[in-house]
Structure 1
Amino acid sequence: MTEKKKILIRIGSLRHGGAEKVLINFLKNLPEDKYEIDLLINLYTGMYIKEVPSWVNLYYLVKGEMITTNKPHEIPVKAFRVLYQKMFLWFPSLLYTFVLKNKKYDVEIAAIHGMYKELLSSPQKDSKKIIWIQNDIFNLKEYTPDIIRQMFNFDRILVISNKLKEEMQKLAKNEKEKQAVVKIFNPIDKEDTLKKANVPVDDFPFSNDLPTFITIGTVYPQKGYDRLLDVHKKLIDEGLKHQIIIIGDGFDLENIQSKLNDLKLQETVKMLGFRSNPYPYLKKSDFYVMSSRHEGFPTIIAEALILNKPVVSTDVSGIKDLLQDGKLGLITPNSEDGIYEGMKKFLTDKELPLQYEKEIANTDLPFVLQKSVAKLQEIIDEL
């Protein structure tokens, strides 16, 4: 009996987010007899907590809900949390002694790019370190080339698209650093997606036969919903009838809602807020539209493909891999005009979406769960 590999995985919380979901998907499918896994989260909160497999040891720094506002009574709590977490960053041996009970690890994994400092400050110098870059960090202001260079202190840098792999390898100083960058597809649980999509919904917002676009994601400026509304208005004014469903919440919700009202689009655009199961709405819609300014690996596009939906998307990180350079969906320039031209094509050329549906149906999708999990095991095992 070979001894199990001892692995520490760190992430901020288990709230609804792409990286969190990916981590849970992996944990649920890793073999319990091969690994002993400790999962350390900074903030014990989120919808995925209950999905952590029972054999994974769950540790946390603080408990409570995420604080996203600055109400006076919340400021002390926020300040305490920041200091408490900083303390473990400054004195990591306290963390490993008191929270993690002096356990020795073979492999330590930062499941999200924001955890790079925490992992690099680990007092366990012999453990192999892996960082998982789930976002296009080259588009995040706080990630300067100097900060990104620090990622090469990890033994493996997992990236989720070819574009990220190329960008990282450009910063590599030698062959060894180049080899450290590995592309791995985020896993999508196909069966689970299909099962959830079949749940009946009684609040689908449209009852007519007009072409329906759907888009799903946190309402942040990066998602480009402002551009989407402008494009929608333009197409409607040109007589190209269609409707849009937006599912998600976020700090930009009120701005987008008031823009929608200003443009008088209440009849043709419906914002449904957050839905823990958006798939039945996706299944009932005709097309998926992604208007994002930037993305890491848009998991939702993979799920749209599993449900055989024609996709029109801006050219963001990960999209060329997912849509196989345009074979499985329409990739437009990352601009308002690009979104406009793409949606217009779907509305005027009825053959195009059908062609995509056929291509999707005949393609063996590479991001299906089993393939991704096998790849991750291979990476862990060779270290």
Structure 2
Amino acid sequence: MSEKKKILIRIGSLRHGGAEKVLVNFLKNLPEDKYEVDLLINLYTGMYIKEVPSWVNLFYLLKGEMITTNKPHEIPVKAFRVLYQKMFLKFPSLLYKFILKNKRYDIEIAAIHGMYKELLSSPQKDSKKIIWIQNDIFNLKEYTPDIIKQFFKFDKILVISNKLKEEMQKLAKNEKEKQAVIKIYNPIDKEDTLQKANMEINDFPFSKALPTFITVGTVYPQKGYDRLLNVHKKLINEGLNHQIIIIGDGYDFENIQAQLNQLGLQETVKMLGFRSNPYPYVKQSDFYIMSSRHEGFPTIIAEALILNKPIVSTDVSGIRDLLQDGKLGIINSNSEEGIYEGMKKILSHKELAGQYEKEIENTDLPFVLQKSVARLQEIIDEV
């Protein structure tokens, strides 16, 4: 039997995020007899750690909870973590010697775009390098064209939407760099999503009398919940009654809660905070609403499609691929006005929801686990 390919995969942590979930889904479905995988995480924390298959070797730089606020007593811990990680970035040979025990790798993978420096500084110059871009980096201020061009030092650049592929290829210097950019669908475990959605919940916050929109995601400005609340208020004032559930936590939580109170929306909007299993709430809602300013590949939209939910979304990266250019849901312009038009449309035309549900039901969804994992393996084997 041929020797197993030795792979190192790097990611920041395994807390609740789309990229983290995708990575764990991928690992759970890789054949263990074909690859030897080392997973190195900067911070050993997160709900997905327990889902990493036992045959994957798990390494970490630091242990502890993620710090998402700036409370005075947390600042020294934060500072130490940053310096500790920077040391390994400056002296990567220490990392490979002391943490990874001098192991040689055939392939090194950055499972998230933020790890590009770590991978490019690897002392193992002959290993093949792959970067997996899970976000719309062209919408992130810190990613200038000059920084993004560094990604072409990788042998393969995996992107999760046609939009990202086109943007990356525009920056390519030659045909070889263009060919390095590969679009791949994030693997979504359909069975797992359906199973989790069937679990009992006792705290669904509304009666089913009114149409209910749900949205799930970390409460950051990029998610556009501020816009969503303004639109909700406007529609209510126009007599289009409905309810909204927001699931997620994050540093913007208090601001959004304050806005909600200021607009007097306590009866029609509920912020439930983080839920490790949001799917029963999605299943019991009528529509999924995405108000994001930017996304990479909105995994939750793929899962909402698996649960057959009509979707209203801003025009962010990945959404045209997922909603098949509007065939499977409403894509509105990425603005407050756009969100307003999308929500108004689905609330005013009662027959639309049923039409979308039928379309979703009759579509062979391309991001289903087996297809994506097979494609990823092909890329790893060819590199």
TM-score computed with the length of structure 2 as normaliser: 0.99
Match in the other structure for 1:287:
287
Match in the other structure for 2:160:
160
Q: Aligned partners of 2:67 and 2:196: how far apart in 1? A: 30
Amino acid at match of 1:367: F
Q: Aligned partners of 1:75 and 1:314: how far apart in 2? A: 36
Q: Aligned partners of 1:87 and 1:287: how far apart in 2? A: 47
Match in the other structure for 1:173:
173
User: Which secondary structure does the structure 2 equivalent of 1:187 belong to?
Assistant: coil
Q: Aligned partners of 1:287 and 1:360: how far apart in 2? A: 13
Q: Aligned partners of 1:233 and 1:48: how far apart in 2? A: 36
Matches within 5 A, 1:296-335: 296-335=296-335
Q: Aligned partners of 2:70 and 2:255: how far apart in 1? A: 19
Match in the other structure for 2:55:
55
Match in the other structure for 1:365:
365
Match in the other structure for 1:217:
217
Match in the other structure for 1:337:
337
Amino acid at match of 2:173: K
Q: Aligned partners of 1:213 and 1:206: how far apart in 2? A: 11
Q: Aligned partners of 1:352 and 1:72: how far apart in 2? A: 51
Matched, 1:250 2:229: no
Matched, 1:260 2:260: yes
Q: CA deviation at 1:209?
A: 1.5
Q: CA deviation at 1:85?
A: 1.0
Match in the other structure for 1:80:
80
User: Which secondary structure does the structure 2 equivalent of 1:36 belong to?
Assistant: strand
How many residue pairs were aligned?
A: 383
User: Which secondary structure does the structure 2 equivalent of 1:129 belong to?
Assistant: strand
2:11/2:112 contact within 8 Å kept: yes
Please, which runs of 5 or more residues in structure 1 have no aligned partner? none
Q: Aligned partners of 2:208 and 2:305: how far apart in 1? A: 24
Match in the other structure for 1:66:
66
Q: Aligned partners of 1:70 and 1:207: how far apart in 2? A: 38
Q: Aligned partners of 1:67 and 1:337: how far apart in 2? A: 35
Q: Aligned partners of 2:328 and 2:208: how far apart in 1? A: 27
Q: CA deviation at 1:79?
A: 2.1
Q: Aligned partners of 1:84 and 1:125: how far apart in 2? A: 23
Match in the other structure for 2:227:
227
Amino acid at match of 1:55: W
Alignment CA distance shift 1:246-1:71 (3 Å): closer
Instruction: Give the stretch that moved more between structures: 306-315 or 65-74.
Output: 65-74
User: Which secondary structure does the structure 1 equivalent of 2:227 belong to?
Assistant: helix
Q: Aligned partners of 2:120 and 2:225: how far apart in 1? A: 37
Match in the other structure for 2:21:
21
User: Which secondary structure does the structure 1 equivalent of 2:207 belong to?
Assistant: coil
Deviation by residue 1:102-131 (Cα, 9 ceiling, x = unmatched): 110000000010100000010101100000
Amino acid at match of 1:324: Q
Q: Aligned partners of 1:262 and 1:86: how far apart in 2? A: 42
Q: Aligned partners of 1:78 and 1:234: how far apart in 2? A: 41
Match in the other structure for 1:237:
237
Matches within 5 A, 1:166-205: 166-205=166-205
Amino acid at match of 1:160: I
Q: Aligned partners of 1:66 and 1:262: how far apart in 2? A: 30
Match in the other structure for 1:122:
122
2:68/2:250 contact within 8 Å kept: no
CA RMSD of aligned residues (A): 0.8
User: Which secondary structure does the structure 2 equivalent of 1:69 belong to?
Assistant: coil
Q: Aligned partners of 1:111 and 1:250: how far apart in 2? A: 22
Amino acid at match of 1:57: N
Q: CA deviation at 1:90?
A: 0.9
Percent of aligned positions that are identical = 87
Q: Aligned partners of 2:49 and 2:106: how far apart in 1? A: 24
Q: Aligned partners of 1:76 and 1:263: how far apart in 2? A: 37
2:69/2:251 contact within 8 Å kept: no
2:132/2:157 contact within 8 Å kept: yes
